[in-house]
Amino acid sequence: MEKLPKIGIPVIIVLILLVILLAKSAVTIDSGEAGVLFKTFGEGVVVDEPPMGEGFHIVAPWNKVFVYEVRQQELFEKMKVLSSNGLEIQIDASAWYEPIYKDLGNLHQSLGKDYLQRVIQPAIRSAARSVVGRYTPEQLYSSKRDAIQDEIFAETKTILEKQFVQLNEVLVRDVTLPNTIKEAIERKLRQEQESLEYEFRLVTAAKEAEKVIIEAEGKAESNRILSASLTDKILQDKGIDATIKLSESPNTKVIVIGSGDSGMPLILGNN
């Protein structure tokens, strides 16, 4: 009986040590995450093997596992940059990014878990300053928002090309100009629109006038041709035809043949 406590104490100590060892060796990686293994007594960060995937893992207790989110993530940035003429413009932009899965070990070794602040944010800010500096406030306010969005994305992606991160998209959500500049641009755009409308009315009026002139010229030419073709003989024939039609009318009348100045019939009578 006296030996039992002496045997039990070491067993309890061993069990406790096993529990501690198991706790330090067990690693669970959640959905959308991956692990980078650091071998304390080996080569350090493991870069020549795939990252540890989701699920339960057992590692040596003296090693470490650094867990990274590998889903697509979003960075929202408010940046103040200068336009081509030196005016301060505020850009609200979002960037969609994610670490390159197969290069997660390299990312951890070269940049660490704060890679967002170390490379992505500076890259986007640098690209935004470079791109916006090529345009005037008028261009940024009206027609060039899609263009600067595409250019910021392209320049940022180039900067991040060898940084073990993947840039998926850059979205320019808003471009804010100083109120005085914004009002001046809106005033200018209204004046340009009114000028275009006035010019359109002038062109329309000119075309209508041209149409009337053409129609008048056509009618005058038609009358000239008709007048040139009407001889006395033709007029007499037409008069005779008209007289015959009138004589056939049931109305009471008297027809005197050959009494007119030109020998045309005279028609006398009551309706």
Angstrom CA distances, 112 to 66, 155, 163, 206, stand at 10, 23, 11, 72
For residue 176, what pLDDT is reported? 83
Edge-to-edge order in the sheet of strand 165-176: 73-82, 88-99, 165-176
Give every residue of the chain whose pLDDT is below 70, as ranges. 1-9, 11-24, 142-143, 182-186, 188-194, 196-198, 200, 223, 226-271
For residue 5, what pLDDT is reported? 57
If one looks up domain 73-177 in CATH, what number appears?
3.30.479.30
| Cβ atoms < 10 Å from Cβ of 115 | 20
| Cβ atoms < 10 Å from Cβ of 224 | 10
The SS3 call for residue 1 is coil
Angstrom CA distances, 148 to 93, 103, 142, 173, stand at 11, 30, 12, 11
For residue 1, what pLDDT is reported? 45
Going from N- to C-terminal start, the domains of the chain cover 3-69, 73-177, 185-229, 232-268
Which residues, 6 or more positions from 24, have their beta carbon under 8 angstroms from its beta carbon? 61
